[in-house]
Amino acid sequence: MKKIILPFILILTLSEPFSAQKINSTSGASSASSQMTAKKVIDNYLTALGGRAKLESLKTIIIENTMSAPNAEVKMTTKKMGNKFNSVQDIMGTKVSQVFDGKRGILEQKGMKTEIPAMTISDLKTKRMLDALNYEASTFTGVTSEQIDGKNYHVLTSAKGRYFFDAATGLLYKSEINGGSNSTVKSYMTVEGIKFPELVEADRKGQTISIKTTKIILNSGVSDADFKTD
């Protein structure tokens, strides 16, 4: 079996890598300037998910996923509280765990512990519990309108990539990230009035994977003990 290690694949499914290369353009898309602002697109997105206040009121979350990749199936369970997380991936019987306590991060596989690199730690410290709350209008340099397969999208561009938001629903549809890591949200699920990505298809450097969320638990079953790195 091909060795598969996917640090933060669940936590950072739709976030940006640190490399900076040419962005892959969406084939078959037409582009035009937009009257929308980045702030308005983000506000519409948060409203579509359930509302900023509702998202910010969440204290903890548990997410269970199944990731399908060539020659492997990975079951993942992630617990989050603030910027802390504990992620366990079962890769065909081999468990890989990642824990971040807000300051320090550890990756453990087969009894071997490795410190998460300082550059990654620096980024993780600034992350909020829900990916959607990490979007800041000031980080985007442009807004365009694009049509793909007859549907209209507001596209935000930053130094890290391009983000396609459905003009009709406000929801994030696709991310095209520098370095060739692209993600498409195929469907959403609703839990206690909040929408979460249910099925995500991702293409990272030629490897196509799908991530299916099977269960989400809000504000229950998580404590500080879950994030110990000692």
Report the C-alpha gap between 188 and 17 in whole angstroms: 23
pLDDT in tens, 65-95: 999 988 889 999 999 999 999 999 998 889 9
* All structural domains of the chain: 38-226 (2.50.20.10)
Please check the confidence at residue 139 and state whether its pLDDT lies above 50.
Answer: yes
Query: In whole numbers, what is the pLDDT of the chain averaged over residues?
Result: 87
Quickly state the pLDDT bin for 140 (edges 50, 70, 90): very high
* 68 contacts 209 by C-beta, under 8 angstroms: yes
pLDDT in tens, 206-229: 788 999 999 999 999 999 999 999
pLDDT, average across residues 147-158: 95
Please check the confidence at residue 5 and state whether its pLDDT lies above 70.
Answer: no
Concatenate the DSSP letters of all residues of the chain into one string: ------TTTTTTTTS--S---PPPPPTT-EEEE-S--HHHHHHHHHHHHT-HHHHHH--EEEEEEEEEETTEEEEEEEEEETTEEEEEEEETTEEEEEEE-SS-EEEEETTEEEEPPHHHHHHHHT--SSGGGG--GGGEEEEEEEEETTEEEEEEEESSEEEEEETTT--EEEEEETTTEEEEEEEEEEETTEEEEEEEEEEETTEEEEEEEEEEEESSS--GGGG---
Quickly state the pLDDT bin for 9 (edges 50, 70, 90): very low
pLDDT, average across residues 26-51: 83
pLDDT of residue 13: 39
pLDDT, average across residues 130-149: 95
Residues 6+ apart with CB under 8 A from 131: 12, 13, 14, 15
pLDDT of residue 78: 97
Write down the pTM of the prediction.
0.84
